[in-house]
Amino acid sequence: MSEDLGALTTETVEQGFSRIDMMDTRALVSLINEQDATVAGAVAAQLDQLAAAVDLIVTGLAAGGRLVYAGAGTAGRLGVLDASECPPTFNTDPSMVVGLIAGGPVALTTAVEGAEDDAEGSFPQLDELGVGNHDVVVGISASGRTPYAVGAVTEARRRGARTVGLSCNAGSALGAAADVAIEVVVGPEVVAGSTRLKSGTAQKLVLNTLTTASMVKLGKTYGNLMVDVRASNQKLRDRAHRIVTAATDASPEAVSAALQEHDGRAKPAILALLTGWPSDQVRAALEASDGHLRRAVDAALPPHRPADTRSTR
């Protein structure tokens, strides 16, 4: 961990950016935008590793495990953010995707000096979660050398968990410690070493992909429809109505009635409208398909046969 930080790509001082303090505002924001536009290509270079990580996560979650992010500073905050968005988006239990940050919850809004340098800082957090078999721990660190993140991945592997190392430098210690290394090399930052910029954007893109692709594979969508959305407010109730309508082509009245019958849940409402089944049969079919609406629909309806309720407009 004592390697020269200045040798890392994320810490490089790019001379082409050395006069940004003399640029007019339009040129400055244009430069930042141009650099941001390179991030997606850097992520694309890691698609094989991303797919491998998603497969690890899906296998673990399907077996009852958790996805656990561990990082410090910006990296830790991005992990906590992604974890916190899974319950309202995919109706997951809050314990399924968890974000750990060096220094604990206070570090979400206030820097906790030195917390990232504690290689054993995550150990009590991993203890509290009982991390072990079936869990997948993703260490996040732009530099790829943050002791907290490397320690979390190393300890998680010792406990039997599968691990992923997400960094923005090639050949990182974090990647070497993990089962799967995702190393998105975005190059020098516009403000040297400010890894909340391109590196942070890259990490957000990767985390979006990990959870979204995993949830799709776990049956949390029907096509591209967010059928496991939790209708907990008016916006989400309206969204659930639109989702059920798009999936069934049923009348507004039929959609409202189905959602009311199934406590605002889009997935059983869709299956009920497509099949005409009562709620107990719908519930049993979804249980038999492990919650995969596509499987339940395909089992219920012969291929290419439109559901009778699709003509209820």
Is residue 120 flagged as an active site residue? no
Residues 6+ positions from 203 with CB-CB distance below 8 Å: 74, 75, 78, 140, 142, 166, 168, 184
Torsion-angle region of 118 (φ positive above 0: left; ψ -120 to 50: alpha; else: beta)? beta
DSSP 30-84: HHHHHHHTTHHHHHHTTHHHHHHHHHHHHHHHHTT--EEEEESHHHHHHHHHHHH
The residue annotated as part of the active site, out of 3, 14, 85, 183, is 85
The residue annotated as part of the active site, out of 116, 155, 183, 189, is 116
Q: Are 212 and 58 in contact (CB under 8 A)?
A: no
Is residue 261 flagged as an active site residue? no
Q: What is the dihedral of CA 130, 133, 136, 141, to 10 degrees?
A: 60
Comparing CA positions, the residue from 74, 98, 72 lying closest to residue 84 is: 98
Active site members: 85, 116
